[in-house]
Structure 1
């Protein structure tokens, strides 16, 4: 599948100690794509989390300030458990979850990088309603993986708006729409990017379950 890479001209990111994954607005931590990513990263500690609304059984997503605060708290707790700073944690997730993580980083949360799976640039059919104002304030390496037919952002739109990021980024395009069916392709893209970022997963089964 085609991809776009913008190399870094800055100091390399610190070694990745763990990956925090968040779900989309209507899903939870057991989403199949998040599970596939965790499997692909065997050997790297992964924590999948729910947002407060989901944990409380509510269907509507959390307001952005609540969700961003939750990301910050969970990232700090995960980093504390691993004995590192949050600058050693990669944050990200699917759709709404990835966007909340990117907002947390834009607001100053240190991170080793961001993984944006099916990033929702805009609501379907509303290309003028963009969710990109914070992207120039993101200065960490970013991986974006999206379906070629995603109504939340075309490949051309993604390339245009990801170019405003304040740090290096890669865009990987896979077959499908907003929830690509090939979870392995998405997970492999995340794993390969992490290898380039500084720490590749070690053999499967070598790490405890950290969720």
Structure 2
């Protein structure tokens, strides 16, 4: 199914200037997910595009956006301070574009972590919850939980959607992290999915992995009301 994609720009930071965004809003939407990209991809990457389309299928709007370094065509990432400011600016722009919708924020990998760091720094205005598509708990081959330490400071509910083959979030570490967060965290494991949501043929379910993530997100939203 095709959906109207409304493209626009907003100011990420005064120093870095404008970045691009794409709003997809189904007619029956009540929720809007502000959705960021991975470290080496853009908001137009097939992963984010598919996430946005499957969410639209079930009536959830998305506001995809670029970080400044990707708006300039890639290269070195800017400072963490710029990234966190961009997350706040994206939420503000999304609220301005669709202020009648309840807002979630998150993204795939890098932007999932930048979203959580932003929320840990100080609550993000208008945001009801965080959604992490493949939270990067640690670099590949360098297992640890230091990247999760700030999650204790997040004050809104968090949904972790993580593959069982994700080399950036091994289950022996991710499961205890989520358990220690208590009621604030919900972890859903995606059978055989890797960090980019590629799955094996021997999955325990025939449900498409992107359909599964949309369904779980929709069910989780019901707990926020």
TM-score by length of 1: 0.77
CA separation in 2, counterparts of 1:171 and 1:129?
16
Cα distance change of structure 1 residues 117 and 196 upon mapping to structure 2, 3 Å threshold: closer
Report SS of the residue matched to 2:48: helix
**Aligned match of 2:67:** 51
**Aligned match of 2:97:** 81
- Does residue 29 (structure 1) correspond to residue 43 (structure 2)? The answer is yes
Aligned residues, how many? 183
**Aligned match of 2:187:** 171
User: Shift of the alpha carbon at 1:188?
Assistant: 2.6
Cα distance change of structure 1 residues 195 and 172 upon mapping to structure 2, 3 Å threshold: closer
**Aligned match of 1:198:** 222
CA separation in 2, counterparts of 1:143 and 1:63?
26
**Aligned match of 2:19:** none
Q: 1:98 aligns with which of 104, 112, 120?
A: 112
User: Shift of the alpha carbon at 1:166?
Assistant: 6.6
Alpha-carbon contact 1:139-1:166 (below 8 Å) kept: no
**Aligned match of 1:149:** 165
1:124-148 Cα deviation digits (max 9, x unpaired): 1212362112100112221111121
Report SS of the residue matched to 1:134: helix
Specify the structure having the higher radius of gyration (Cα).
2
Cα distance change of structure 1 residues 116 and 21 upon mapping to structure 2, 3 Å threshold: same
Q: Which has the higher contact order (CA 8 A, sep 6+)?
A: 1
Report SS of the residue matched to 2:60: coil
CA separation in 2, counterparts of 1:29 and 1:46?
11
Alpha-carbon contact 1:102-1:114 (below 8 Å) kept: yes
User: Shift of the alpha carbon at 1:187?
Assistant: 4.3
CA RMSD of aligned residues (A): 2.4
CA separation in 2, counterparts of 1:151 and 1:84?
38
Structure 2: gaps spanning 5 or more residues? 1-28, 200-206
Greater strand proportion: 2
